[in-house]
């Protein structure tokens, strides 16, 4: 039995005094010796936390005991070690940045796509009148995506609204949206409905839940996750590797950050090129005077920056 777990979750539910709640919630998480990253906004919670099995059990029980978050669906992974180094809980304007000038135009609690459980998504995804739509960023779907999925050239989810016009050709189709854990689909599907798409669905629990309940069939590559693991396997039926090394083109699932901190580009690179370029995306970055030492992982702990007093309340020093 594994000693640790990592929990991925979100909940769209109004929070009064959300900034104050964030500070209190950070203290609560620390009391359980959890590590992770949580975003708190007036519209709800979005988090990934990691800790001992008992700590995670207590955390989930506390969240479910709060009537505001009783419907929260936790995706649970057993891990050999905690998936973060520190605990952060920050207040932001949205738990997922929509890119809208007026975020209140959409409310996932009022209108969103029809939720499909993994087994139902599996049954529908290959039908003739269906389009499977990946609403994640480039670096995510380049690492792994559903077979034959439509992808968008976006660097962040906030770019999604500007790309909806490119999907107009699919307005008469059934749109099945998916993302890592389901949270982006709540807003993506709501936006599609507002733009006149008639039948919009979303994969409930995202890729992570699909991997657990449908064995990840036809998900090609790996799923990018926002913690120290970087990527996780999903497909236990017909797995494959689709991502390639930026430098030599060989197939690899290894994703790193450029060792040049002023570049810090997120990209896939094989071990051979990583050794040759010392974890840099190019020879130019390799000669940069601030280049970080490459230890083979391509993961770098952020150097703490000066913060104001208000910010210091919400983050671990």
Q: Does the pLDDT of residue 247 top 80, yes or no? A: yes
User: Average pLDDT, stretch 177-194?
Assistant: 97
Provide the pLDDT confidence category of residue 1 given band limits of 50, 70 and 90: low
Tens of pLDDT, residue by residue over 231-240, are: 999 999 999 9
Helix %, strand %, coil % of the chain (to 5): 30, 25, 45
Q: Which of 206, 202, 185 is nearest to 135 (CA)?
A: 185
Q: What pLDDT score does 304 carry?
A: 44
Beta bridge partners of 37: 48, 88
User: Average pLDDT, stretch 198-212?
Assistant: 98
Alpha-carbon distances of 177 from 6, 139, 202, 295, rounded to whole Å = 24, 17, 5, 37
Q: For residue 177, give the 3-state DSSP assignment.
A: strand
Cα(313)–Cα(26) distance, integer angstroms: 9
Sorted by sequence, the CB contacts under 8 Å of residue 288 that are 6+ apart come out as 260, 262, 263, 280
Q: What pLDDT score does 303 carry?
A: 52
Q: Where are the alpha helices (DSSP H) in 144-270?
A: 160-163, 183-194, 206-213
Q: What pLDDT score does 280 carry?
A: 98
Tens of pLDDT, residue by residue over 54-86, are: 999 999 999 999 999 999 999 999 999 999 999
Residues of the chain with CATH 3.40.250.10: 103-224
Contact 8, 23 (CB under 8 A): no
Q: What is the DSSP string of 240-284?
A: ----B-TTT--B---EEE-SSTTT--EEE--HHHHHHHTT-SSHH
Contact 108, 41 (CB under 8 A): no
Tens of pLDDT, residue by residue over 18-42, are: 999 999 999 999 999 999 999 999 9
Beta strand spans in the chain (E): 4-12, 35-41, 44-52, 75-79, 87-91, 114-116, 130-134, 144-146, 174-178, 199-203, 219-221, 223-224, 231-232, 255-257, 266-268
Task: For residue 63, give the H/E element and its range.
Answer: helix 53-65
Please state which architecture CATH assigns to domain 4-95: 2-Layer Sandwich (3.30)
Residues of the chain with CATH 3.30.70.100: 4-95
Catalytic (active-site) positions: 179
pTM value? Answer: 0.89
Q: What pLDDT score does 308 carry?
A: 36
Top-tier CATH class for 103-224? alpha beta
Cα(259)–Cα(277) distance, integer angstroms: 9
Q: What pLDDT score does 315 carry?
A: 37
Q: What pLDDT score does 2 carry?
A: 59
Question: How do strand 174-178 and strand 199-203 relate by DSSP bridges?
Answer: parallel
């Amino acid at each position: 039995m594994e000693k640790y777990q990592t929990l991925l979750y979100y909940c769209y539910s109004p929070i009064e005094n959300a900034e104050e709640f964030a500070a209190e919630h950070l203290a609560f998480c620390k009391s359980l010796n959890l590590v992770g990253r949580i975003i708190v906004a007036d519209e709800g919670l979005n988090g990934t936390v990691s800790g001992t099995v008992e700590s995670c059990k207590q955390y989930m029980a506390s969240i479910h005991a709060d009537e505001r978050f009783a419907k929260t669906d936790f995706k649970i992974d057993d891990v050999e070690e905690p998936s973060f180094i520190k605990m952060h809980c920050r207040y932001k304007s949205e738990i997922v940045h929509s890119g809208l000038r007026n975020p209140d135009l959409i409310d996932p609690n009022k209108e969103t796509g029809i939720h499909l459980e993994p087994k139902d998504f599996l049954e529908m995804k290959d039908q003739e009148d269906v389009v499977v739509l990946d609403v994640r960023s480039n670096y995510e779907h380049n690492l792994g995506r559903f077979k034959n999925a439509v992808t968008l050239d976006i660097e962040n989810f906030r770019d999604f609204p500007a790309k909806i016009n490119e999907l107009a050709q699919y307005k008469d189709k059934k749109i099945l949206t998916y993302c890592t854990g389901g949270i982006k689909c709540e807003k993506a599907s709501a936006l599609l409905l507002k733009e006149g798409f008639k039948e919009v669905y979303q994969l409930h629990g995202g890729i992570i839940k699909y991997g657990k309940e449908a064995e990840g069939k036809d998900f090609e590559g790996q799923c990018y996750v926002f913690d120290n693991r970087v990527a996780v396997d999903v497909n236990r039926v017909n797995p494959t590797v689709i991502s390639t090394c930026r430098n030599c083109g060989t197939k690899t699932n290894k994703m790193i950050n450029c060792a040049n901190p002023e570049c810090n580009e997120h990209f896939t690179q094989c071990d051979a090129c990583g050794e040759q370029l010392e974890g840099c995306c190019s020879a130019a970055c390799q000669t940069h005077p601030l280049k970080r030492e490459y230890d083979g992982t391509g993961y770098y702990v952020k150097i703490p920056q000066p913060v104001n007093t208000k910010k210091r309340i919400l983050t671990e020093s």
